Amino acid sequence: MITPGSTIGILGGGQLGRMLILAGRNLGYRFHVFEPKGSCPAGMVADLEINAAYSDKTALRKFAEGVDVITLEFENIPTEVIDMLSTIKPVLPGSRALFICQHRQREKDFLRESGLPCAPFEYADSAESLKNVVEAIGFPCVIKTAAFGYDGKGQIKLNVPEEAADCDYLWNFLENPQRVVVEKWIHHIGEFSVICARKVDGTKITFPMAENIHIHHILHASIIPARITEATQTTGAQLACEIADLLDVTGLIAVELFLEEDGSLIINEMAPRPHNSGHYSMDGCITSQFEQQIRAVANLPFGSTELVKPSVMINLLGDIWAKADDGDPDWASLLADPNVKLHLYDKGEARPGRKMGHFTVLGDEIETTLEAAEAHFDALLGV
User: pLDDT truncated to tens, each residue of the chain (383 aa)?
Assistant: 999 999 999 999 999 999 999 999 999 999 999 999 988 999 999 999 999 999 999 999 999 999 999 999 998 899 999 999 999 999 999 889 999 999 888 999 999 999 999 999 999 999 999 999 999 999 999 999 987 656 557 789 999 999 999 999 999 998 888 889 999 998 899 999 999 999 999 999 999 999 999 998 899 999 999 999 999 999 999 999 999 999 999 999 999 999 999 999 999 999 999 999 999 999 999 999 999 999 999 999 999 999 999 999 999 999 999 888 777 899 999 999 999 999 999 998 899 999 999 999 999 999 999 999 999 999 999 87
* pLDDT score at 382: 84
* pLDDT score at 149: 59
In the chain, where does the domain assigned CATH 3.30.1490.20 lie?
120-184
Sign of the CA dihedral running 267, 271, 274, 280: negative
Top-tier CATH class for 120-184: alpha beta
* pLDDT score at 147: 77
114: Cβ–Cβ under 8 A, 6 or more apart, which residues? 246
Distance CA 232, CA 139 (A): 28
Going across the sheet that includes 141-145, the strands are 121-124, 180-184, 141-145, 155-158
Closest CA to 97 of 85, 107, 84: 107
* pLDDT score at 325: 75
What fold, for 190-381?
D-amino Acid Aminotransferase; Chain A, domain 1 (3.30.470)
Distance CA 289, CA 302 (A): 11
Closest CA to 184 of 132, 119, 122, 134: 119
pLDDT tens track for 77-101: 999 999 999 999 999 998 899 999 9
Q: How do beta strands 141-145 and 155-158 pair?
A: antiparallel
184 neighbors 119 (Cβ within 8 angstroms): yes
- Please give the backbone phi and psi of residue 161, each rounded to the nearest 5 degrees, phi first: -55, -30
83: Cβ–Cβ under 8 A, 6 or more apart, which residues? 95
In the chain, where does the domain assigned CATH 3.40.50.20 lie?
7-91
In the chain, where does the domain assigned CATH 3.30.470.20 lie?
190-381
How far separated are the first and last CA of the chain, in Å rounded?
Answer: 51
* pLDDT score at 383: 78
Alpha helices (H) in the chain, listed in sequence order: 15-25, 57-65, 79-86, 95-101, 104-113, 127-137, 167-173, 230-246, 281-284, 289-297, 318-323, 332-336, 366-381
Top-tier CATH class for 7-91: alpha beta
* pLDDT score at 285: 98
* pLDDT score at 63: 98
As a whole-number percent, the residues of the chain with pLDDT over 90 amount to: 87
* pLDDT score at 191: 97
Burial of 209 (0-12, 13-18, 19+ CB in 10 A): buried
Burial of 55 (0-12, 13-18, 19+ CB in 10 A): exposed
Q: DSSP state, 75?
A: S
DSSP three-state, residue 186: coil
* pLDDT score at 38: 86
106 neighbors 256 (Cβ within 8 angstroms): no
